[in-house]
Amino acid sequence: MDEGVGSAVKFYGLAPIRYLDAADDDEHVATRKSFEFTVATAVRLEELGFDGFGVGERHHWPFLSSAPPVVLAHIAALTTRIRLFTGVTVLSVLDPVRVAEDYATVDHLSRGRLELIVGKGAGPGGELFGLRPEEQRHALADNFRLLHELWTTTDVSWAAVRRPRLDGVTTLPRPHAGRRPRIWHGSSSSLDSVALAAEYGDPVVFSNAAATSESARPLAEHYRAEWARHGRPADRLFTGAGTPGFLVAKTSQAAIETYRPVYERYAALQRGFGGRPSHPTVEEFVEHSPALVGSPEQVIDKVHRQHEIFEHSVAVFSVDPDGLAEESHWNSLDLFASEVAPVLRTALPDPPA
């Protein structure tokens, strides 16, 4: 694949793997069904012409996304075209050497289709790896710099900071085609993250589950300013925009009612973490968050409004089936592919070459 994004806006589906509602199943059966449903979604997205499929990384209940490279390697064997990515790789708590080895392996098995979205991560989990929450932001930057070195050079030496020092290390396998896989920096609020992306000439995925897309405008503007400060050409800058919710139905009323149980489960999960949901009702969530839930016309309009802020070339949709009837899940993807994607691919400007 060319180093640029391509000749038209891209659509990526992101699936956080979680235990699906299977009250009559034991834990082992529910786990198997959850993985099978995720894999089936990836295969279906390729059939529908989506451009990418991603797996989130989480290390806590009710998620089963603790080993994205294993899942993506399996999907690579069942697909031929669709890009495979992570969203996000919680690089703050991972060993960059292990990340370099695991994902370079996936890169080869998929014949160069791998991309990473790296980030600090959301939800609990850092403590499992001996990292306090306040340490994760600095650890993310340090680990990214080392990962970049491991994928772009050989005989890497690295001073001991959060991990043992390295002396003349070359990780294997080397990335596919001798080129570092594309790394996106996921950010919902951090100026440091977008500045790091601009420093290395990497793209950013803007994603905020709680606030409006408009609230992230200063972040997008800071990224553009940092990109220019590093002397990078404006026509090489490209971005992505993520959504915390996604469902397309024939009418707005049908979309709201179909999505209601999904949002209720999300709100319950937030309360279980000791927090509170971003919006008190599903109607307010759909209206004020970046979620793309509605009729084809509503989704098209909202993507246009987001594009005015982010000028994004990749739209990342959370295709999370939790609380959603299986038929509604498949119908939503079909409707997007047939009535939304063709309009957006024609109407939005082509991304950088």
Per DSSP, what are the bridge partners of residue 117? 184
Lookup: tokens for 266? 């999300």
What is the distance between the alpha carbons of residues 72 and 61, in angstroms, rounded to a whole number? Answer: 21
What is the distance between the alpha carbons of residues 163 and 157, in angstroms, rounded to a whole number? Answer: 12
What is the distance between the alpha carbons of residues 191 and 246, in angstroms, rounded to a whole number? Answer: 27
Model confidence band, residue 2 (pLDDT cutoffs 50, 70, 90)? very low
What is residue 3's predicted lDDT score, i.e. its pLDDT? 41
Tell which residue, 88, 84, 58, has the closest CA to residue 73: 84
Question: For 54-108, how does the pLDDT look when each residue is reduced to its tens digit (9 = 90+)?
Answer: 999 999 888 999 999 999 999 999 999 999 999 899 999 999 999 999 999 999 9
- Mean pLDDT, the chain, rounded, equals 91
Residue with tokens 């009323």: 253
Model confidence band, residue 204 (pLDDT cutoffs 50, 70, 90)? very high
Give the CATH fold of the 8-187 domain. TIM Barrel (3.20.20)
Tell which residue, 259, 279, 235, has the closest CA to residue 320: 259
Lookup: tokens for 34? 């959850």
What percentage of the chain carries pLDDT values higher than 90?
73
What is residue 132's predicted lDDT score, i.e. its pLDDT? 82
Tell which residue, 253, 255, 254, has the closest CA to residue 245: 255
What percentage of the chain carries pLDDT values higher than 70?
95
Please state the domain extents for the chain: 8-187
- Provide the H-helix boundaries in the chain: 27-48, 68-78, 96-109, 136-152, 191-200, 217-229, 252-272, 282-288, 296-310, 326-335, 341-347
Residue 144 exposed, middle or buried by CB count within 10 Å (0-12, 13-18, 19+): buried
Per DSSP, what are the bridge partners of residue 136? none
Model confidence band, residue 209 (pLDDT cutoffs 50, 70, 90)? low
Question: For 243-269, how does the pLDDT look when each residue is reduced to its tens digit (9 = 90+)?
Answer: 989 999 999 999 999 999 999 988 887
Cis amide bond preceding 244, omega within 30: no
Lookup: tokens for 305? 């409004």
C-alpha distances in angstroms, 144 versus 17, 89, 93, 114, 196?
24, 11, 11, 17, 9
What is the distance between the alpha carbons of residues 45 and 85, in angstroms, rounded to a whole number? Answer: 13
What is residue 353's predicted lDDT score, i.e. its pLDDT? 65
Question: For 19-59, how does the pLDDT look when each residue is reduced to its tens digit (9 = 90+)?
Answer: 876 555 688 888 999 999 999 999 999 999 999 999 999 99
DSSP 339: I
Query: Terminus-to-terminus CA distance in the chain, angstroms?
Result: 12
C-alpha distances in angstroms, 105 versus 111, 135, 138, 169, 295?
10, 29, 27, 17, 40
